[in-house]
Structure 1
Amino acid sequence: MTPVALDTFVHQLATMSGEAILPFFRTTLGVEDKSHGRAFDPVTEADRAAEQVMRRLIQQHFPDHGIIGEEFDDQSTDATYVWALDPIDGTKSFICGMPAWGTLIGLLKEGVPVYGMMHQPFIKERFFGDGASAFYRGPAGDRRLTTRPCARIEDAILFTTSPLLMNEPDRACFRKAEERVRLSRYGGDCYAYCMVAAGLADVVIETGLKDHDIVALVPVIEGAGGIVTTWEGQSPAKGGRVVAAGSKAVHAAALEILNGG
Structure 2
Amino acid sequence: MNDMMTEALRISAAACAIPKRYFRSSLSIDQKSDESPVTIVDRETEEFLRRELLAQFPDHGIFGEEFGRQSGDSAYEWIIDPIDGTRSFISGNPLYGMLLALLRNSEPVFGIVRMPELEEVYTGTSGTAFRNGTEPLAVSQTRDLSDAAIYINEGEKIHAAHPALFQRLCKTGQLRRFAYDCYPHMLLAAGHIDAVIDFDLQPYDYLPLVCVVKGAGGIMTDWQGENLTLRSDGRVISAATPELHKTLLELVQAG
Using structure 2 for the length normalisation, give the TM-score: 0.93
Cα deviation for residue 167 of structure 1 reads: 6.2
Whole-angstrom distance in 1 between the partners of 2:224 and 2:98: 27
1:217-241 Cα shifts (integer Å, max 9, x gaps): 0000000000000001112223411
Q: Is the 8 A contact 1:205 1:244 kept in 2?
A: yes
Which of 70, 80, 87 matches 2:82? 87
Counterpart of 2:208? 216
* Structure 2 unmatched ranges of 5 or more: none
Cα deviation for residue 7 of structure 1 reads: 2.1
Whole-angstrom distance in 1 between the partners of 2:94 and 2:159: 27
1:189 aligns with 2:187: no
1:145 aligns with 2:137: yes
1:101 aligns with 2:96: yes
Cα deviation for residue 122 of structure 1 reads: 1.7
Counterpart of 1:156? 148
Counterpart of 1:260? 254
Counterpart of 2:9? 11
Whole-angstrom distance in 1 between the partners of 2:166 and 2:239: 15
Q: Is the 8 A contact 2:159 2:166 kept in 1?
A: no
Counterpart of 1:47? 42
Q: Is the 8 A contact 2:219 2:238 kept in 1?
A: yes
1:63 aligns with 2:61: no
Give me the CA root mean square deviation: 1.8
1:132-161 Cα shifts (integer Å, max 9, x gaps): 1000018xxx31000000011111111123
Cα deviation for residue 216 of structure 1 reads: 0.6
Classify 1:169/1:162 alpha carbon distance in 2 versus 1 (closer, same or farther; 3 Å): closer
Using structure 1 for the length normalisation, give the TM-score: 0.91
SS of 1:228's equivalent?
A: strand
Higher mean C-alpha deviation, range 238-247 or range 69-78: 69-78
Counterpart of 2:26? 28
Cα deviation for residue 174 of structure 1 reads: 3.8
Amino acid at match of 1:153: L
Classify 1:206/1:59 alpha carbon distance in 2 versus 1 (closer, same or farther; 3 Å): same
Q: Is the 8 A contact 2:153 2:199 kept in 1?
A: no
1:22-75 Cα shifts (integer Å, max 9, x gaps): 1111100111111x4x5x411111111111111011111111111111100211
Aligned-pair identity (%):
35
Q: Is the 8 A contact 2:95 2:117 kept in 1?
A: no
Whole-angstrom distance in 1 between the partners of 2:156 and 2:27: 26
Classify 1:171/1:220 alpha carbon distance in 2 versus 1 (closer, same or farther; 3 Å): farther
Whole-angstrom distance in 1 between the partners of 2:184 and 2:85: 11
1:2-31 Cα shifts (integer Å, max 9, x gaps): 3x2022112112212101221111100111
How many residue pairs were aligned? 253
Cα deviation for residue 171 of structure 1 reads: 4.1
Which of 244, 248, 252 matches 2:242? 248
SS of 1:11's equivalent?
A: helix
Whole-angstrom distance in 2 between the partners of 1:105 and 1:152: 32
Higher mean C-alpha deviation, range 188-197 or range 172-181: 172-181
Amino acid at match of 1:182: Q
Classify 1:29/1:203 alpha carbon distance in 2 versus 1 (closer, same or farther; 3 Å): same
Whole-angstrom distance in 2 between the partners of 1:198 and 1:112: 23
Whole-angstrom distance in 2 between the partners of 1:243 and 1:209: 11
Amino acid at match of 1:29: L
1:202 aligns with 2:194: yes
* Structure 1 unmatched ranges of 5 or more: none
Whole-angstrom distance in 1 between the partners of 2:170 and 2:219: 19
Whole-angstrom distance in 1 between the partners of 2:109 and 2:224: 21
Q: Is the 8 A contact 1:101 1:188 kept in 2?
A: no
